[in-house]
Amino acid sequence: MLGLNGKDFLAWLFVLFLVAAAPILLNPFPEGSAFAQFNAGYPDLMQRFVIFGIFAIGFNILFGLTGYLSFGHAAFLGAGSYAGVWMLKLLTINVIPAIIMSTLVAGLFSLAIGYISLRRSGIYFSILTLAFAQMSFALAASVLTPITGGETGLQTQLGDPRILDAAATGGNIPAPSLFGLEMGHSWKVSVGDWLWTFNAGYYLCAFIMLIAFYIAIRIFRSPFGMMLKAVKSNNQRLGYTGINPRPYTLAAFVISGMYAGLAGGLMVSMDPLAGAERMQWTASGEVVLMTILGGIGTLIGPVLGAGLIKYSENIFSKINDNLLHTWFSFMPDGVENFMVTIVHPFVGKGWHLTLGLMFMLVVIFLPGGLVGGLSGLYKRLFRRGSHAQ
């Protein structure tokens, strides 16, 4: 189907199902129940899931296939974001030009950085990309303040030209929209105690993510993808056979840079603000974590990794002491306070600690990431089943 083999098509359908039903799947707990805190089915977080999914899918095309570990991919996300906001400011509040432009700008930017960085491989390549990304961050944060807004960030303003739009704004900055459908528009459906939010912006992101995922599968299965895997398994031998690997790695680098730019463009289409810190090395490191957590070189892994990290960032970081006290309130006073003290460092601002522990556990016990772990589990169960027969 669609030029995919049966297994890949199933994987694609699985992702299709996941993203289409996400507003329902991510809200398993009824409103007002004690566990409602863990619901993730609200537009902002769902948008982040798919946007960072795109980012991680693109990163995986480079890292998963060629083995080149880029520590500077956030620079492309940031470049895309700025390009997107400028389109929203100058051209039109419609998100389509913003998304296209951010992908193109990030593509050009990654072509320039990739051309230089790919002269080296291994750790030197990583360091070069890291250096370029930090330079971009420093430029965005201070030197290029007129273009990037510096540490204040770049936002849409009431007085922006928006040459394609009619001037009538009614005293408020128009919200990004798709031919008049505002990205923030939501349809809320309540079933019993459950409340599901179907958000226009989310479904636009999800639609684009499905296309991005489809393209990634095609790349993985193409002769080009084969060549990239050859680069990863033995770059030298490829050279000895008379093939110059650099055009292939550069192409992979630019493609993954464009994925990052696309993610940046979608981010500003959902929320029209670009801050310099999304170019910082921590943001670059995050996408590496996502890919490793989910499973390097697997198709679906990066999407799962992105989901897991964004979930802990947004859910664990919002648990405060007050909430902990209500959770443990059934215990005697001394025990309650003790439990709160124990759990406290792992939630709220300490969510990084929880993430770090999870990351350690995954790397130590599931070297293949979540996908590796799940498929191992599946195989073990399956084998046991066949033994029984």
The answer to whether 341 contacts another protein (rule: CB under 8 A) is no
Decide if 21 contacts 233 (C-beta within 8 A). Answer: no
Q: What is the DSSP string of 45-113?
A: HHHHHHHHHHHHHHHHHHHHHH----S-THHHHHHHHHHHHHHHHHT-SBHHHHHHHHHHHHHHHHHHH
Decide if 26 contacts 267 (C-beta within 8 A). Answer: no
What's the DSSP call for residue 245? -
| Interface pick for another protein out of 39, 121, 249, 291 (rule CB under 8 A) | 39
Q: How far is the CB of 152 from another protein (least distance, A)?
A: 4
Structure tokens at 156: 């849409």
The answer to whether 21 contacts another protein (rule: CB under 8 A) is no
192 or 334: whose CB is closer to another protein? 192
- The type of residue at 255 is I
The answer to whether 171 contacts another protein (rule: CB under 8 A) is yes
Decide if 257 contacts 249 (C-beta within 8 A). Answer: no
The answer to whether 271 contacts another protein (rule: CB under 8 A) is yes
How many residues of this chain bind another protein (CB under 8 A)? 44
- Residues between 67 and 126 with contacts to another protein, criterion CB under 8 A: none
Among the residue ranges 248-256, 272-280, 297-305, 331-339, the one whose residues contact another protein (CB under 8 A): 272-280
Q: How far is CA 335 from the centre of its chain?
A: 40
Structure tokens at 293: 């957590």
Q: How far is the CB of 257 from another protein (least distance, A)?
A: 20
165 or 271: whose CB is closer to another protein? 271
- Residues between 281 and 310 with contacts to another protein, criterion CB under 8 A: none
Q: How far is the CB of 173 from another protein (least distance, A)?
A: 7
Q: How far is the CB of 169 from another protein (least distance, A)?
A: 9
The answer to whether 375 contacts another protein (rule: CB under 8 A) is no
The answer to whether 189 contacts another protein (rule: CB under 8 A) is yes
177 or 256: whose CB is closer to another protein? 177
Among the residue ranges 12-20, 52-60, 189-197, 301-309, the one whose residues contact another protein (CB under 8 A): 189-197
The answer to whether 354 contacts another protein (rule: CB under 8 A) is no
The answer to whether 165 contacts another protein (rule: CB under 8 A) is no
The answer to whether 185 contacts another protein (rule: CB under 8 A) is yes
- The type of residue at 357 is L
In whole angstroms, what is the distance from residue 354 CA to residue 343 CA?
10
Decide if 154 contacts 148 (C-beta within 8 A). Answer: yes
Q: Which of 197, 184, 192, 190 is nearest to 22 (CA)?
A: 197
Q: How far is the CB of 20 from another protein (least distance, A)?
A: 16
| Interface pick for another protein out of 25, 131, 173, 366 (rule CB under 8 A) | 173
- Render the burial of 300-319: b for 16+ CB within 10 Å, e for the rest: bbbbbbbbbbbbbbbbbbeb
Q: What is the DSSP string of 174-189?
A: PPPEETTEETT-EEEE
Q: Rounded to whole angstroms, what are the CA distances from 256 to 52, 64, 66, 331, 370?
A: 13, 11, 11, 51, 22
The phi, psi pair for 187, rounded to 5°, reads -110, 125
Q: How far is the CB of 369 from another protein (least distance, A)?
A: 25
The answer to whether 43 contacts another protein (rule: CB under 8 A) is yes
Q: How far is the CB of 197 from another protein (least distance, A)?
A: 7
| Interface pick for another protein out of 317, 328, 339, 374 (rule CB under 8 A) | 317
Q: How far is the CB of 1 from another protein (least distance, A)?
A: 31
- Residues between 197 and 216 with contacts to another protein, criterion CB under 8 A: 197
The answer to whether 192 contacts another protein (rule: CB under 8 A) is yes
| Site of tokens 């030209």 | 161
The answer to whether 191 contacts another protein (rule: CB under 8 A) is yes
In whole angstroms, what is the distance from residue 13 CA to residue 10 CA?
5
151 or 234: whose CB is closer to another protein? 151
**Positions in the binding site for another protein (CB under 8 A):** 39, 42-45, 48, 141-142, 145, 150-153, 155, 158-159, 170-173, 175, 184-192, 197, 271, 273-275, 277-278, 314, 317-318, 320, 322, 348-349
